[in-house]
Amino acid sequence: MIDGFNFAYLDEATKRMIRRTILKAICIPGYQCPFGGREMPLAYGWGTGGIQVTASIIGMNDTLKVIDQGADDTTNAISIKNFFKKVCKIKTTEVTENATIIQTRHRIPEKKLSEHQILVYQVPQPEPLRRLEPKEQETRKLHAYEEYALMHVKLYEEISHYGSVIKTYAYPVRTNRRYITDPSPTPKFDNPKMDFMEALQLFGAGRERRIYAIPPYTSVKSLDFEDHPFEIQTWDERCDICGSNNSYLDEIIVNDKGEKKFICSDTNYCEKNIKT
């Protein structure tokens, strides 16, 4: 369509195949559906899974926002955005509420998402049980038969060795009371936002060729013990730029003396907060 590219880069047959996988994923919340992932014009680990999902669902009237570590202006976010500008000629935005599709790595925007939006995650490792059980055939059985004791053994181990669960990102959740799902690699701070989110959440893992989904208004619970309940990160500091005390803060070192400042990781949220 444009300079020898089909709209959104992928050919229509591939997009249909990916859409079928997405539909299946939505029907079985949290279940990792295999798909015939394509080679993309960038390396694995740079969001090829997310890009294929976005390319399959994007239309001419969509407005795209891309974030990396919560920021719209990082190299990776900008190059993905430029890619879609080039192959779709669509509008892009940094304003969370103006986007119809938000592709992300690491963060969920602070601003509450709506039914009119889709959040696409770039996922490096979709299998939450992988580090506990290396065999793919076995992890599939563990999911199929809901044999999830191992996951709690992991939490047991962390509490026993460190006094609390130390995992701060890719913190495992149970989706729709059924499949254990990896929200990777978002910080656990964002886990509560996934629970009954109004927006559709789609997860694409390029290297592992898996797509999974959390439909709107679906229960997403972080795993824990009743005497060691799940907790999100908190900070004593406020954002140095906007003064926010309830957003996810990044720690930055500001001079050679090692002096530290804290600023919002969600740059669009931070800008809005200064204005109001």
Partner 1 sequence: MIIKDKILEVKNLTHYYGEQVGCEDISFDLYQGEILGIVGESGSGKSTLLKCLSGQISPSQGIINFCIDQNQPLQDLCKISEQKKRALMRKEWGIVQQNPRDGLRLRVSAGGNIAERIINEEIKNYSNIRHKALDWMDKTEMEKSRIDDFPLNFSGGMQQRLQISKILSSNPKLVYMDEPTGGLDVSVQAKLLDTITIIVRDLNVSMIIVSHDLAVVKFLTDKLLVMKSGMVVESGLTDRVLDDPQHSYTQLLTSSILQV
Contact residues: partner 1, CB under 8 A:
141, 144-145, 147, 149-150, 152-153, 155-157, 159-161, 225-228
Q: Which does 264 bind (CB under 5 to 8 A by kind): partner 1, Zn ion, none?
A: Zn ion
Which of residues 94 and 133 has its CB atom nearest to partner 1 in the complex?
133
- The catalytic residue among 37, 204, 206, 264 is 264
Amino acid identity, position 165: V
Within 202-241, the residues that bind Zn ion by CB under 5 A are 239, 241
Q: How far is the CB of 239 from Zn ion (least distance, A)?
A: 3
- The catalytic residue among 4, 27, 30, 47 is 30
Going through the chain in order, the beta strands assigned E by DSSP cover 33-34, 63-68, 91-92, 101-105, 118-122, 173-175, 179-181, 200-205, 210-214, 220-222, 249-253, 260-264
Amino acid identity, position 211: I
Q: How far is the CB of 165 from partner 1 (least distance, A)?
A: 10
Q: Which does 242 bind (CB under 5 to 8 A by kind): Zn ion, partner 1, none?
A: Zn ion
Please say if 88 is a catalytic residue. Answer: no
Please say if 270 is a catalytic residue. Answer: yes
Tokens standing for 166? 């130390």
Query: Sign of the C-alpha dihedral, residues 69, 73, 79, 82?
Result: positive
- The catalytic residue among 49, 50, 70, 239 is 239
Please say if 33 is a catalytic residue. Answer: no
Q: How far is the CB of 154 from partner 1 (least distance, A)?
A: 8
- The catalytic residue among 27, 206, 242, 243 is 242
SS3 21: helix
Q: How far is the CB of 232 from Zn ion (least distance, A)?
A: 17
CA distance 171 to 132: 14
CA distance 188 to 173: 10
Within 237-266, the residues that bind Zn ion by CB under 5 A are 239, 241-242, 244, 264
Q: How far is the CB of 92 from partner 1 (least distance, A)?
A: 45
Amino acid identity, position 121: Y
Q: Which does 241 bind (CB under 5 to 8 A by kind): partner 1, Zn ion, none?
A: Zn ion
How many positions of this chain bind Zn ion (CB under 5 A)? 6
Is position 270 an interface residue for Zn ion (rule: CB under 5 A)? yes
Rounded to a whole number of angstroms, the distance between the first and last alpha carbons of the chain is 43
CA distance 84 to 65: 10
Amino acid identity, position 73: D
Which of residues 123 and 165 has its CB atom nearest to partner 1 in the complex?
165
- The catalytic residue among 33, 50, 70, 270 is 270
Angle at 126 between CA 30 and CA 151, to 5 degrees: 75
HSE, CB side, 13 Å, CA atoms: give it for residue 98: 11
Residue 44's H or E segment, with its range, is none
Q: How far is the CB of 245 from Zn ion (least distance, A)?
A: 10
> Catalytic residues, which ones?
30, 239, 242, 264, 270
**Chain residues in the site for Zn ion (CB under 5 A):** 239, 241-242, 244, 264, 270
